[in-house]
């Protein structure tokens, strides 16, 4: 088994822990922000460890310092159809994360209104996590099949 398999397992385990933190909607904002960090980390991991690379290279800026938008742009540059669903889900998630953080910092919205926004669109967070896990499972399967064919 390769490192993407182990990483995907760890990603899923951490996502499960975040989701179990509390069913209490009072903690929905911190729970969402933790998921956002995990997703950003996952996208950066995929960019650096997946078998597909951006056509223009990673560039001079270290991946750790890239924003989520920059990482999504680099994933798009890979021109790999296996990334299409991840990119689409990541764009939706990035927009939601930006909307939530913008409302937290710059508007007169109440915490309840922000929590409601997250609850109304929580499927966006679920979708990106599912797409990341599906991709990692695909890579694991593809690599194991190719390894068996070579052996």
Higher pLDDT, 39 or 6: 39
Q: What is the mean pLDDT of residues 50-70?
A: 87
Q: Which residues contact 88 (CB under 8 A, 6 or more apart)?
A: none
pTM above 0.85, yes or no: no
d(CA 8, CA 116): 30
Both structure tokens of 21: 């933190």
Residue in this structure with the two tokens 């991946």, named with its chain if needed = 63
d(CA 113, CA 16): 25
Do 38 and 15 contact (CB within 8 A), yes or no?
A: yes
70-123 pLDDT tens trace = 999 999 998 888 889 999 999 999 999 999 999 888 878 888 899 999 999 989
Number of residues in the chain: 151
């Amino acid at each position: 088994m390769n490192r993407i398999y182990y990483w995907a397992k760890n990603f899923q385990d951490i996502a499960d822990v975040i989701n179990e933190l509390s069913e209490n909607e009072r903690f929905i904002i911190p729970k969402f922000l933790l998921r956002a960090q995990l997703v950003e980390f996952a996208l950066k991991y995929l960019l650096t460890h997946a078998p597909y690379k951006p056509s223009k290279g990673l560039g001079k800026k270290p991946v750790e310092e890239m924003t989520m938008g920059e990482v999504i742009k680099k994933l798009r540059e890979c021109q790999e159809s296996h990334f299409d669903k991840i990119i689409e889900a990541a764009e939706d998630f990035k927009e939601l994360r930006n909307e939530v953080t913008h409302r937290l910092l710059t508007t007169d919205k109440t915490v309840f209104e922000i929590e409601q926004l997250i609850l109304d669109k929580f499927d966006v967070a679920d979708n990106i996590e599912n797409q990341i896990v599906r991709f990692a499972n695909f890579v694991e399967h593809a690599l194991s099949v190719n390894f068996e064919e070579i052996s």
